[in-house]
Amino acid sequence: MSVWKACDLRGVFPRDVSADLYRRIGRAVATQRAVGARVLVAGDFRLSTPELKGALIAGLSISGAHVLDAGQIPTPIAYFTHGRLRTDAVLIVTASHNPPDHNGLKLMVDHFPPSPGEIQELRAATERGEFRDAAGTVENVDLSGEYCAWIRRRWASIRPEMRVVLDAGNGAASVIGPGLFESLGFRVERLFCEIDGRFSNRPPDSAVAANLTALCAKVRETGAHLGIAWDGDGDRVAFVDESGSVASADEMAVLLVRHLAPSAQGRRVVYDLKLSDMVRREAERAGLVPCMERSGHAFIKSRMIRERCVLGCEASGHYFFDELDGGDDGMFGALLVADMVARSGALGELRRTVPPVFMTPDIRLRGGELTFAEAAARLRGLPGIVAEVTIDGLRVETADGFILIRNSVTETALTLRMEGRDAASLARLRSACRSALPEIPAHLIGA
């Protein structure tokens, strides 16, 4: 399994990602740019991050880069620092939502995430080893205080008459996230808000509802108005309503569309093709222009930047905003939703206004059991197909709804997802998938 994914790196430390690899990546990045290019480096709080980050800085500096070391911080603050200092590139050592024994690398060159082709160019340069020898420099930078001051100014008019439970999962947002909410006047209950690179209390993936059981219980126990959970590096966010029920990414996308639409008529909204088709319908109903995009942070962010879209929504809990120059920020997104709830009513009440969704979660088939090409060929043979979408894997659409099969962006696996127009339609889609793809255990596809 390669650590080089579509737009970043992910792997198990030290089996897949090592200090030697990161040193070579640093040398390759510096060699691809002019001597003295300003490269920002940051990292999350995984146990392996200091070693990998140090190796990355060493590689950059011996190949002529001017390194700005931002330390270990949430990923949104790294992006903020990159924008404020106008650095030539930013490299963030993080595995985001992946398990504790993983690490990885997120990067941007200028103001865009890398394309799959650019990632492969970096991989080739790293493996080729034709590095420049040149003296570089390293300096420390810390814009965390400036970031917090900006957040407080942005949300100075927020009406925080509410109790919130904040679950940082022992990740990068553990200190700064609750501090921001408290400084704005919220009554904060902290849950797993001590930095711990082992993620001792829950997995770092906040998009999995099963990982939020403690947050749901704490919301009910404290009578909080809202529960908020961040992932390992603080750029994803999930929400729990006042009853202790997890809000789906589909519901949150619809609510954000409605919230932003009055001041954004005619603007574009980017949505992950894994999200419910309800997001498209609601965007059109609200006077916005929906744009389906390939699933993955880099693809949605690039589309946001290129087309100055007002909002981007990903099924995994990344939310992107034109106000952030197309970027995403779990803390900014959390405050936007808290403000929406303060102004518009309880999240549970808002959720009840969203039409029901008849959709499966991601059904994962580990690599080797069935190839994408074979699965796609069989799905194309299903009767009643009225349209195909191929921007990311294959999405076949029928009168009943859609079936999506694609390669995972972050792991070696196929993912399958279906949405029906109603319960009966979804049942028919499930039946069609069981017939076409018998390699997938029937209990995963469902009745």
CATH of the domain at 374: 3.30.310.50
Q: Residue 4: inside a domain, yes or no?
A: no
Q: Residues of 421-440 as b/e, b for ≥16 C-beta within 10 angstroms?
A: beeebbebbbebbbebbeeb
List the pLDDT tens digit at each of the 447 positions of the chain: 689 998 999 999 999 999 999 999 999 999 999 999 999 999 999 999 999 999 999 999 999 999 999 999 999 999 999 999 999 999 999 999 999 999 999 999 988 999 999 999 999 999 999 999 999 999 999 999 999 999 999 999 998 889 999 999 999 999 999 999 999 999 999 999 999 999 999 999 999 999 999 999 999 999 999 999 999 999 999 999 999 999 999 999 999 999 999 999 999 999 999 999 999 999 999 999 999 999 889 999 999 999 999 999 999 999 999 999 999 999 999 999 999 999 999 999 999 999 999 999 888 887 667 889 999 999 999 999 999 999 999 999 999 999 999 987 666 788 999 999 999 999 999 999 999 998 888 777 876
Give the list of residues 6+ apart from residue 135 with CB closer than 8 angstroms, or none: 62, 64
**Same domain, yes or no: 278 and 342:** yes
**Same domain, yes or no: 369 and 312:** no
Q: Residues of 49-87 as b/e, b for ≥16 C-beta within 10 angstroms?
A: bebbbbbbbbbbbbbbbbbbbbbbbbbbbbbbbbbeeeb
The pTM of the full predicted model, rounded to 2 decimals, is 0.95
Residue type, 390: T
Question: Is 111 designated active site?
Answer: no
Query: How many domains in the chain?
Result: 4
Of all helices (H) and strands (E), which one includes residue 205?
A: none
Q: How far apart are CA 253 and CA 73, in angstroms?
A: 27
Give the list of residues 6+ apart from residue 12 with CB closer than 8 angstroms, or none: 101, 102
Q: Residue 326 in contact with residue 336, Cβ under 8 Å?
A: no
178, burial (CB in 10 Å: exposed 0-12, middle 13-18, buried 19+): buried
Domain that holds residue 312: 249-351
Which member of 23, 46, 258, 318 is catalytic?
Answer: 318
Q: How far apart are CA 269 and CA 99, in angstroms?
A: 31
Question: Is 364 designated active site?
Answer: no
Q: Residue 37: inside a domain, yes or no?
A: yes
Q: Residue 74: inside a domain, yes or no?
A: yes
Which member of 96, 206, 295, 316 is catalytic?
Answer: 96
131 DSSP 8-state letter: P
**Same domain, yes or no: 327 and 375:** no
The tokens describing 313, both together, are 């929504």
Q: Residue 2: inside a domain, yes or no?
A: no
Which member of 10, 38, 259, 430 is catalytic?
Answer: 10
Question: Is 318 designated active site?
Answer: yes
